Structure 1
Amino acid sequence: MNKIWDAIIIGGGAAGLFCAGIAGQRNKKILVLDHAEVLGEKIRISGGGRCNFTNLNTSPSHFLSLNPHFVKSALARYPSSAFIKLVQSYRIAYHEKHQGQLFCDESAKQIIDMLFSECAKGNVLIRHPVIAESISHESEQWVVKTNNGIERSRSVVMATGGLPVPAIGATAYSLDIAKQFQLNVIDPRPALVPLSFTSGEFENLVELAGLSLPIRIAAGSKGSRYGACHFHEDLLLTHKGLSGPAVLQASSYWVEGETIQIDWLGAAGVNGDLSCDEVFNDEENRLKSTESILASVMPQRLAKAFAEQKNLLGRKWAEVSKKDRQVLKELISHWSVKPAGTLGWKKAEVMLGGVDTKELDGQTMMARNHSGLYFIGECVDVTGHLGGHNFQWAWASGFACAHAL
């Protein structure tokens, strides 16, 4: 074809399709290329199949980046309220869950269908499965060589996402292109991912797999890549280690070799920030066994495991020395454990790291030193907290790019 596109978008996921639809409706000639047989798979499997498509409380504070200010412009121009209006215009029923998280009532497929409809309104051409074999810049045009021929364009938008869930076709292609054009890339690693443990302090908790409870968790440090964090969320014990929202959140801040800290009683609003002292100093507990006292504030099986770990199983509280009480208090309120690692890309929900935001214009998503080359969505060094924030970044960065094309 001799047609010169206004933009070729590489990647037909959330950010790519959203950007394409907006740009197309602004009378731009847009071509979307994707190597997958089926588009939108990551959207389809998100939120347990109901797609946690945004969060009512999205703000820059919900994102990790070496430059935390980078997200401000895009999020301000396209806030969650704007995407909610779009969802409402398609009469997609949704509901709010924990902490502002919004989910489709029926199916994530409704969001995918909406994105395709938006592209159709803008006469966007979507081709898949097509493999982009190379991207180059020649005579003030971008040239994309594919397994189906050569396409030329005024701009190229990289929207291939990150490395999580390789089973549905995740690749590092956007990062490879960034490196090809000498853009710095922050080393990627799995985020929002369960943590695994070796034996040791964790050993007698393995048999409690499946147990879930609200806790307070801390990870990271002031000197680490993204600083320190504190979350009040649910924790899930698994056969391999720890999961659940609390641990997924903490995993984004955790650094290999460091510990995480858990206060098993410190879930705000659930146990009312109950302290060990309140429980331990209650005179009515003197003749109760250690495990029954603990079981009044945590699941019975976990109470038994903690009492057993400190050799206090079956012992009446009046018989437990001040020293042993202090040891138990430390265990419950400042449980510090060193994860062996994460469960990797297969279990990660998003990617940390990516194209260095210093290389990009925060208002347009264009590479500062390469006119017409854009990066949007997950491939950028912007990672949201759990709960719809990463989708909101896809919409916001796609919007900024579409209006810059």
Structure 2
Amino acid sequence: MKNSLDKIRKKIDIIDKEIFYLFSERFNLVKNISDIKSKLGLLSFDKDRESFILNKIINDNTNISKNFIEDILNRVFFESYILENNTYDKIIYNTNSKINITIIGGDGNMGILFKDKFIKSGYIVKSINSSNWDINLEFIINSNVIIISVPISKFISIIDKLNNLNLSKNIIIVDISSIKHFTIKSILNIHEGPVLGLHPMFSNNIDNFSNQIMICCNGRLSDSYKWILDQFKLWGLILHTIDSIEHDKYMLYIQYLRYFIFLSYGLFLIRNNININEMINISPSFNYIFLNLFIYFFNQDSKIYIEIINYSKKNDNNIINSFLDNINLIKLYIKNNKIDEIFNEIKKWINLNIDKKYINKSSNIIKNSIILK
């Protein structure tokens, strides 16, 4: 019996070796494809191609779990995009002259990320800060694009400096802060040219831009900066356009309220002397995901969180108080043994308002967390 087990395991080892050899061959072909796609000006991220491959392999392998195939292929796609982005160097904006880009705050985490990406794509980029502002005035004034990547607390001082330069109307000014209405309005007040508000919904430590979300808020003259958005698409970013006021409203729920919940939860665990390692060890899948998000949150630089909280609390439309009122309401439901009423109300709201694909994705995420754990 032991010999039979060893023989089968040896066969499995051989198959595993073949599988990873084929993965290596596939990734080599991906590198070749990225060179061709780059020269043709094709987008790095190709959802239709992904869907075609996924559906074909699922249909050809009915004896293998659909979820398993999706998990494997999604990881293969992700690794492929990393390889593609390492070789992409196509500039979508066709011009005989080089494009000069000034990144104010280009030495910060997000500034460095975009600086490296633009340079790799062939643009002339300079990082500007308070120490080298004066010696680079000529470059700033002659830039095609000025990207502002500074903390919210420093934003107005930068706007004042730009206002004193009498910039050309042809210069595109881009802001990449996490708030939009205030920053876009401030730029529009001092600049008559094209204005674009961006909010990268990712951190600076990502492997590549593919499938990452970039929120876009129009300020003025959107046709003038269309080439920038085309460049982002070429890098694989998913662009989502939204009004700046709507953006700020949703960020109160996506960022501000979430930060409040994490801070409250963390302080509560400390005050109750909870062993978080033990919590992770015995947590079911959905709580395991939550705890990992919680841990990730507190392993980031607190400065960005503090900036967002300090700005948002001035414009929170009483969100925190309303949230606390709902906690008291739920306590009342629990006390009166009516928790099923509030549960069913929320469940009904989800089923009526959320796209079914997100419900299916949530199930897959929970299943995948079992593997990760």
Say yes or no: TM over 0.5: no
TM-score scaled by length of structure 2: 0.23
Judging by fraction of residues, say which structure has more helix.
2
Give the structure with the larger strand fraction.
Answer: 1
Give the TM-score normalised by the residue count of structure 1: 0.22
